[in-house]
Structure 1
Amino acid sequence: MSDFLKQRPGAPQGFFAAEAAGLAWLAAPRAVPVVEVLEEGEDHLRLERLESVRPSPEDARAFGGRLAHLHDAGAEGFGASPSDTSWFGPLDSPFELPTTAREDFATFWAQDRLEPLARRASPQLGADGSAAVSRAIDAIAGGAFDGVSGQGREDASRVHGDLWSGNLMWTDAGGTLIDPSAHGGHRLEDLALLTMFGAPHIDAILAGYEAAHPMPTGWREDLPAHLFFALLAHVVLFGGGYGAESVRVAEQITERARDLTT
């Protein structure tokens, strides 16, 4: 088996250990293929080398079903991490995340994830943009998105946590997970991130997911609330046009919350 060396001299303490633990945690339910860790060090991971293939709609649909089964494996609580530390962001500039397990999604998402990022992003958002983001966070904190389309309340799912299309590799084994920010979260977190930059055959992925785990009508309108963390993280990390996009999404979240609670 050939390998791939992922390395960063001077990496934050626990960074690669967290990734290794996250990959093992995602692999444990045997629901979705996950890249294998061959060796772990303080400044590197040696991983199985994956060979990419072109996915078909059937591959995408199968991955959607497998992802639903992974989420159903569950987690200790919202924000719970399989390691002592948790990280998000690119290899050269990740930031650390809380690992406190919360009983409800609203507290975890608003207090532990969104509010710290909103403070850091505020200079790039401006006064009006920051106010719009604050209103959206308040709507999330109020519990509008604890369920799906306002129905019930979700238990914590086992989520990848950074599942944009670049962290989903298509191999002979099917859609394979790499580079997670694994934690207990809301299942719509992963689905929202898959739509962020357009995963291949995204409609087939979502159809496969719904076949394995039926969703209520209108569930896709909830996705902006679950994409919000990644957007604000992009404002902090990369700036640029992500600020305007975050404000636009904030307004969508506030409007959706109003529809769900009236």
Structure 2
Amino acid sequence: VLLPESGRSTCPAEDDHEDFCSHAVAVARLDAELVGLKALRRFAAADDSEAHFVVPQPIELVKCPSPGGAALLLPWLNLKTPRCLEAHGTAVAALHSRSLGQSESFGFAQDTFCGRWRLRNCWGNDWVSFFQEQRLQPLLRAAMAAADRTNTIVGPATRSMAKLEGYEALRALFRGADMRPCLLHGDLWRGNFVLEDGKPVLLDPAASWGHSEMDVAQVKLLEAPESYEQFMRGYYGMMR
């Protein structure tokens, strides 16, 4: 449930930041989650599958007239926090492998949200360009704006990348890689790793069609090394 907050958030008022719970943004955020859940459900296998994972079936998006927020109704799930992320690694690998090549382009049918950050999802046929222009660039612009406001020194590498320079090295990292899009969860962090009846649940997505390394890198960035190793053990076990 998202309800309006008084005043603006303390985050920079960049193009890709939003009032966290203004009425319009509350509806847009939950609608994006609803569409993302439906997309993920296409690739959740039957209960007897070796790599079954649970994706809640959205019931309805409710727009609240007062105080003006919105609510996304989902089925009740008896959720528990996992001690190990191996099963979630298997689930994400299953999502990636089942959806690989099912889209010809990178992007999504609409913008999605990772926290308060709007993720632009204009369709494109080149992953490096999509990642550069619709993922890295907005973050770099926000970092530059924050640095200017606080008189923080920004390194030359950040300034160069913010000017769309220095991306040949990024492109080189993907040479020889399978560049077909797969469906990404897009918001893999500790709060979204849960179990229901011992099965991994994929919820609260910021879905898009992209390169699988995006999901994997997010886990490596946000999780402790031991948890990341557990996740990758399940991920690689499914991919073999």
Q: Same fold (TM over 0.5)?
A: yes
For residues 154 and 128 of structure 1, do their structure 2 counterparts lie closer, same or farther at Cα, with a shift above 3 Å needed? Answer: farther
Q: Percent identity of the aligned residues? A: 25
Q: Against the structure 1 CA distance between its residues 207 and 20, is the aligned structure 2 distance closer, same or farther, given a 3 Å change threshold?
A: same
Q: 2:234 matched to which residue of 1?
A: 208
Q: What amino acid is the match of 2:61?
A: E
1:242 is matched with: none
- Matched residue, 2:36: 22
Pick which of 16-25 and 37-46 moved more: 37-46
Question: Which deviates the most, 172-181 or 70-79?
Answer: 70-79
In the TM superposition, what are the counterparts of 1:113-124 in structure 2 within 5 Å? 113-124=135-146
1:144 alignment partner, one of 160, 172, 175: 172
Q: State the SS of the aligned residue for 1:111.
A: helix
Which of these residues, 99, 103, 120, is aligned with residue 98 of structure 1?
A: 120
Residue 212 of structure 1 aligns with an amino acid whose one-letter code is: M
Are the aligned partners of 1:118 and 1:130 in contact in 2 as well (CA < 8 Å)?
Answer: no
Which one-letter code corresponds to 2:79 in the other structure? S
Q: Which residue of 1 aligns with 2:67?
A: none
What residue is the counterpart of 2:56 in the other structure? Answer: 35
Asked whether the 8 Å contact 2:82–2:194 carries over to 1, the reply is no
Offset of residue 193 of structure 1: 1.7
2-structure distance, mates of 1:197, 1:85 = 23
**Counterpart residue number, 1:50:** 77
Structure 2, gaps ≥5 residues long: 5-22, 46-52, 64-69
Shift of 1:62: 3.1
Shift of 1:78: 5.4
Query: In 1, distance between residues paired with 2:32 and 2:62?
Result: 11
Task: Pick the aligned partner of 2:207 from 151, 166, 182.
Answer: 182
How far apart, in 1, do the equivalents of 2:80 and 2:36 lie? Answer: 24
- CA distance in 1 between counterparts of 2:181 and 2:145 reads 33
Q: Secondary structure at the match of 1:181?
A: coil
CA shift digits 1:126-171 (9 cap, x unpaired): 67525222445744465123x3xx5334211110111112122122
Question: Secondary structure at 2:74's aligned position in 1?
Answer: strand
Aligned to 2:2: 7
Larger radius of gyration: 2
2:201 partner letter: T
- Cα pair distance change 1:196/1:78, threshold 3 Å: farther
Deviations 1:109-135 (A, max 9, x none): 111221122112103346752522244
- Unpaired segments of 5 or more residues in structure 1? 1-5, 215-262
1:50 aligned partner, one-letter code: L
Contact 2:81 2:195 (C-alpha < 8 Å) held by counterparts: yes
1:87 maps to 113
Structure 2 partner of 1:248: none
Secondary structure in structure 2 of the residue aligned to 1:20: helix
Structure with higher helix content? 1
- Output the amino acid matched with 1:108: F
> Residue type matched to 1:180 in 2?
P
Q: Which residue of 2 aligns with 1:198?
A: 223
Residues in 2 aligned to 1:209 and 1:138: alpha-carbon distance in whole angstroms: 33
Number of aligned positions between the proteins: 199
